[in-house]
Amino acid sequence: MKVLITGAGGQLGKELIQLFTMWGYKVCSYSRSQLDITNYIEVKNILKRDQPDILINTAAFTKVDLCETELKQAYLVNAIGAYYLACQAKEIKAKFFHISTDYVFDGEKYEPYIEEDFTRPKTIYGKSKELGEVLALATYQNTTVIRTSWLYGHEGNNFVNTIKELANCAKEIRVVSDQYGCPTYTKDIGFALKQLLTKPSGIYHISNYGSCSWFEFANEILKILNAKVRVIPVSSKEYGSKTPRPMYSVLSSRKINSNGIFLREWKKSLHEYLVKEGDKDEY
């Protein structure tokens, strides 16, 4: 069986390439420079040539602040690109998986979001990802949208690696304490996605079990690393991000659990990640 993965240069794309290769799939992968998903002709020609059985789109414009000023690019990549891929997946009858985000929600619910909740994104990033979901699902019935959150993986820019770097050069770190979500390891998304291959299409929330604030997340990273760095909790207002982030974007595991899919508690996944990175010895 053949799998085609877009966004091969990103941390989730790299993880999925390794996992599906390990599982014995024939993998075709394309980075942004190799396949521009906003170019319909490129998408059509490559999918027609490769004829994958499974198409996984991890390509995205994820720079939240930059999306606010580069609206055209955000909507081209996150919405139109998803639409083009869905069109061609339908044409070649490939099962289509599209990776989305917790930013499609407004963050005002303060209890875990389920798949049926109304999406009310507040940012251009969230709005463009929401449109990508809508277009993909409306275009092709064999589309599965995976919403995830607070992603970290090997060979990528993410919160865990940022805290690790700061721990080597700073005595104290300011971290937001009033935003809550689900830290999620790319490896665990890969294992859940593999199980979804045999499940009905639709929208699924995939994140590690449990939730925390960014402040609690940072403290856990430093605890595992045994780093003596002081973490100072600050409010979102004090931190002063250019673009507001969802205050609460915890994703419910109810639907995947009902389909027999269970992800690990986020602290366990974080520990494994740091062990594999060589920052922590095994238990």
Burial group, residue 142, by CB count within 10 angstroms (0-12, 13-18, 19+): middle
Q: Find the Cα–Cα–Cα–Cα dihedral 126, 131, 132, 133, rounded to 10°.
A: 90
Of the candidates 256, 119, 102, the one whose C-alpha atom is nearest the C-alpha of residue 180 is 102
239 is catalytic: no
Burial of 224 (0-12, 13-18, 19+ CB in 10 A): middle
Q: How far is CA 135 from CA 13, 87, 132, 244, in A?
A: 22, 10, 5, 25
Tell me which of 125, 180, 185, 248 is the catalytic residue. 125
Structure-token pair, residue 154: 């090997």
What is the rounded distance in angstroms from the CA atom of residue 88 to the CA atom of residue 38? 13
Among residues 45, 17, 44, 49, the alpha carbon closest in space to that of 30 is found at 17
* Bridging pattern class, strands 180-181 and 212-213: antiparallel
Name the DSSP letter for residue 189: H
Active site residues: 125
